[in-house]
C-alpha cells in the first residue's frame, strides 16, 4: 500500500511538473528571452516560491525547458534522417527540419540561445547567463548527430572520430547559419537549405553506405 501511495505521489508530481513547463512554454512563446519567473508563476496560477520548489532555481527551470525542446527537435531530426529517400534529400530534410523548428517558434529559440538584454526580472539576470547554458544543448545535438552518422555511413578507420567532427560541424553550421537567417531573412528557407546542402555535398556524397543499413 505504501509503495502504491509513493507511486501515485510520483505520478502526481510528474504531472504537475509537466503542467508548469507548459505554462512556462506559453510565457516564453509570448515574451521570449524576457520571460520572467513572476510571469511564469502567474501563468501557472501559483506563487514564485512554489515554482522554485519544483525546479530549484532559474537555471533549473531553464534546463528543464531546454531538455523538453531539445528532445523534441532531436526526435524530429532523427525522423528526417531515417526517411525513405536519397541521401541528398535526407540531408536537405534534416537541415529544413532544424530551420523550420526555429522559424515556427522564434521566441523559444531566442529564449534558449540568447541571453536577455532586459533589465527586469528575467531568467538571464543576476548572473544567469543563458548563453553559457545553451552551449551544452549544441554539444548534445552534435553528439546525437555524430551517432547517427556513425551508424549509417561507413567512414573507414577512424570513422567514429570523423563522425563526431562532422556531427558537431554540421550542428555548428546549422546554428550559425540559422541564427543569421532568422535575424535577417536574406533568402527563403528553401534557398538556405539548398545552399547549405551544397556546402555539405563534398566528401559526404562520396562516402560508402554501410551494407546493413540505409544511407545517411
Instruction: Give the residue extent of every domain in the chain.
Output: 59-209
The alpha carbon of 136 is separated from its chain's Cα centroid by a whole number of angstroms, namely 10
Cell of 8: 501515485
Is pLDDT larger for residue 5 or for residue 69?
Answer: 69
Question: What is the predicted pLDDT for the residue at 133?
Answer: 57
pLDDT at 16 over 90: no
Burial of 99 (C-beta count, 10 Å sphere; 0-12/13-18/19+)? buried
Instruction: Please write the tens of the pLDDT for every residue from 38-78.
Output: 999 999 999 888 888 888 887 888 888 888 888 888 889 88
Task: Residue count of the chain, please give it.
Answer: 216
pTM reported for the whole predicted model: 0.76
- What is the mean predicted confidence (pLDDT) over 154-179? 93
Q: Residue 16: phi, psi to the nearest 5?
A: -65, -40
For the chain, give the percent of residues with pLDDT over 70.
80
Q: Does domain 59-209 have CATH number 1.10.8.10?
A: no
Residue 204 banded pLDDT, cuts 50, 70, 90: low
Segment among 34-38, 57-61, 93-97 with least mean pLDDT: 57-61
- Whole-angstrom Cα distance, residue 115 to residue 128? 9
- Retrieve residue 12's grid coordinates: 502526481
How many angstroms separate the CA atoms of 53 and 194, rounded? 47
Whether 169 and 196 have beta carbons less than 8 Å apart is answered as: no
pLDDT tens profile 97-154: 999 999 999 988 888 887 554 434 444 444 445 455 567 788 988 998 899 888 888 8
Amino acid at each position: 500500500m505504501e509503495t502504491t501511495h509513493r507511486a501515485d505521489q510520483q505520478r502526481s508530481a510528474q504531472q504537475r511538473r509537466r503542467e508548469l513547463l507548459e505554462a512556462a512554454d506559453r510565457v516564453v512563446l509570448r515574451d521570449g528571452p524576457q520571460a520572467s519567473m513572476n510571469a511564469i508563476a502567474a501563468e501557472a496560477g501559483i506563487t514564485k516560491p512554489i515554482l522554485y520548489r519544483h525546479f530549484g532555481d532559474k537555471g533549473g527551470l531553464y534546463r528543464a525547458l531546454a531538455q523538453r525542446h531539445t528532445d523534441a527537435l532531436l526526435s524530429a531530426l532523427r525522423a528526417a534522417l531515417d526517411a525513405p529517400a536519397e541521401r541528398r534529400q535526407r540531408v536537405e530534410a534534416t537541415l529544413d527540419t532544424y530551420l523550420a523548428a526555429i522559424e515556427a517558434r522564434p521566441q523559444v529559440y531566442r529564449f534558449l540561445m540568447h541571453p536577455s538584454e532586459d533589465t527586469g526580472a528575467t531568467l538571464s539576470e543576476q548572473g544567469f547567463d543563458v548563453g553559457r547554458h545553451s552551449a551544452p544543448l549544441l554539444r548534445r545535438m552534435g553528439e546525437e548527430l555524430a551517432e547517427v552518422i556513425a551508424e549509417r555511413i561507413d567512414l573507414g578507420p577512424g570513422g567514429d572520430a570523423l563522425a563526431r567532427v562532422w556531427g558537431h560541424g554540421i550542428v555548428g553550421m546549422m546554428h550559425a547559419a540559422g541564427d543569421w537567417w532568422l535575424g535577417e531573412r536574406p533568402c527563403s528557407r528553401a534557398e538556405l537549405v539548398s545552399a547549405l546542402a551544397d556546402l555539405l555535398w563534398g566528401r559526404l556524397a562520396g562516402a560508402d553506405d554501410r551494407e546493413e543499413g540505409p544511407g545517411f
